[in-house]
Amino acid sequence: MTIVENDPRPLFVRALDQTQQLVTTTDPEHLALPTPCDDYDVRTLLGHLLSVVARINLALNGGDPLTIPVVATGVDDVPTTWKERRVALDATLTEDAVLGRTCRLPWGTLPGAAAIAGYTGELTTHSWDLAKATGRLSALDDAVATQVLPMVQRFIPAGQRGGHVPFGPVVQVPDDASPYDQLAAWQGRQP
């Protein structure tokens, strides 16, 4: 992978690394815990994260990510499945051409660089969801959320919520709230 100007891959890899650490160390006793993500317990969120990794890889390779369910089910060994999917995604990310490749995504058709940026926001937010649900907020890298927050604010407008924009209204937080609390609040989650 050659790093080019405005290359979203380094931040995406940091988000993947953080998510992987949380996914692979989730205690099985936590699987039934609720998460800040509506309708997802920890088990369902883990299944969604497995789907996210598979979806972005498929999209970056020119496939249709909507052929992959929103939540992977029936996975007995989530850490191993995550690592297998991550290996495939890492191989895809080494191709510089991926940045300009046209990708069909659940929210539109975009160049690969924009797809990677969008999925960086999703992974970072779901890392917070998982960390919050399992009491591991200290495992989060604030620098990732600091970089992701302005991207998410640009891609998810404050005024257009509900319907095809699956986020609740922005939750007000103090100006000095942590970067993750600001990120979660922007997406309608209660920090």
pLDDT band at residue 8 under the 50/70/90 scheme: very high
188 contacts 171 by C-beta, under 8 angstroms:
yes
Report the amino acid identity of residue 155. Answer: F
Question: Tell me, what DSSP letter sits at residue 169?
Answer: P
pLDDT at 5 over 70: no
Tell which wins on pLDDT, 138 or 164: 138
pLDDT at 73 over 70: yes
* Dihedral, CA of residue 48, residue 52, residue 54 and residue 57, to nearest 10: 180
Question: Does the domain spanning 9-160 belong to CATH 1.20.120.450?
Answer: yes
User: Residue holding tokens 């005024």?
Assistant: 159
C-alpha–C-alpha distance, residues 78 and 84, integer Å: 10
pLDDT digits (tens, 9 = 90+) for 77-123: 999 999 999 999 999 999 999 999 999 988 889 999 999 999 999 99
List the chain domain ranges. 9-160
pLDDT band at residue 163 under the 50/70/90 scheme: low
User: What is the three-state SS of 137-165?
Assistant: HHHCCHHHHHHHHHHHHHHCCCCCCECCE
C-alpha–C-alpha distance, residues 102 and 111, integer Å: 5
**Between 112-134 and 179-186, two packed helices, what is the crossing angle to 10 degrees?**
110
Tell which wins on pLDDT, 101 or 3: 101
- The pTM score is 0.93
